[in-house]
Amino acid sequence: MTAAVKAIGGCLRAGQLIVLESTTYPGTTSEVVRPILETTGLQSGIDFYLAYSPERLDPGNAEYSPSQIPKVVGADDDGGLAVAVAFYASLVDQVVPVSSSKTAEVVKIAENVFRAVNVALVNELKIVYSKLGIDIFEVIAAAKTKPFGYMPFYPGPGLGGHCIPIDPFYLAWKARQSDIQVPLIERAGEINLEMPKYVVRRVGEILDQQRGLALSRAKVLIVGVAYKRNVSDIRESPALVMIDLLQEQGAAVEFHDPLVEVIPPNHRYPALAGMKSVAMAPDGVAKYDVVVIVADHTAIDWPALIEWAPLVVDTRNVAAGLDNGRGKIFAV
């Protein structure tokens, strides 16, 4: 980010508005961006305008277009706030001004911490309920009929994308600088990071129980390597973690994803770069010992996949009701 700000500083002119939208720790706009820009000799609030406005997009969500999502804007002087509000008012239906850039930065972190903590809670409940023989999705469906005091969150194989898995740790790092502990936030992050390992462990247990087969001798098909439904983004995807863990244990792993033709270069799992999506066909799917559903894209023919697969581990509840008494679908 600092390299980008320095590049902007190289062509900064008086009267310009600079807005940071990247999610970051509180204080970045005033403590990092502003000093770099002011090395040009121009001063924020006098010669140029500086503000922060968090990105609030939800990839794959067709219900809300960018213009319909209220835009939070914060700046550290009245002029910067007024100019930034006027700019975004021309693009979106509603602008929400706040008192400072730091407040605007924390708004985005609060949104993502809220989601991370609640997803961690429901993931932990899923593990407990599974041990008790209770379907977490049935529990959620019943609980959300209450018209107050409850908001449904759904478990999965782990969090992905560039925001929710990372943002809570920005706040934890900043809090530690002030000798403040945030154990709930940190523990939520740890639970979500552990979920891909939990899924791989359960895949191994199910293979052993159902087929008497160790992971080291298993052929595994991962369905969906994107981090969530109906997107092609693989950043921080739990599927990559699972592929890596399965390969470490000796499993032969391939993937199918209609939105991801090939895994691009990535810093965390460079060995997976270039891995290509395989076709989904009856003979092809049948050759795998287990199919693991990670991203529930609507473009996938789920009834056909379930019909062809010898064994299914479902982390998204997409296969519910498709078993037809055969006992080959296991919700994890």
Contacts of 163 (CB under 8 A, 6+ apart): 23, 112
Q: Which residues pair with 293 in a beta bridge?
A: 223, 314
The token pair at 293 is 């559903």
At a CB cut-off of 8 Å and minimum separation 6, what does 194 contact? 158
Torsional class of 18: left (φ above 0), alpha (ψ -120 to 50), beta (otherwise): beta
Given 107, 163, 290, 331, which residue is catalytic?
Answer: 163
CA distance 12 to 38: 10
163 is catalytic: yes
CA dist 324 → 139, 221, 303, 316, 328 (Å): 22, 22, 11, 18, 9
Confirm if 272 and 200 have CB atoms less than 8 A apart: no
**170 contacts: CB under 8 Å, gap ≥ 6:** 23, 24, 25, 109
Identify the helix (H) or strand (E) that includes residue 19.
Answer: strand 17-20
Active site (catalytic) residues: 163
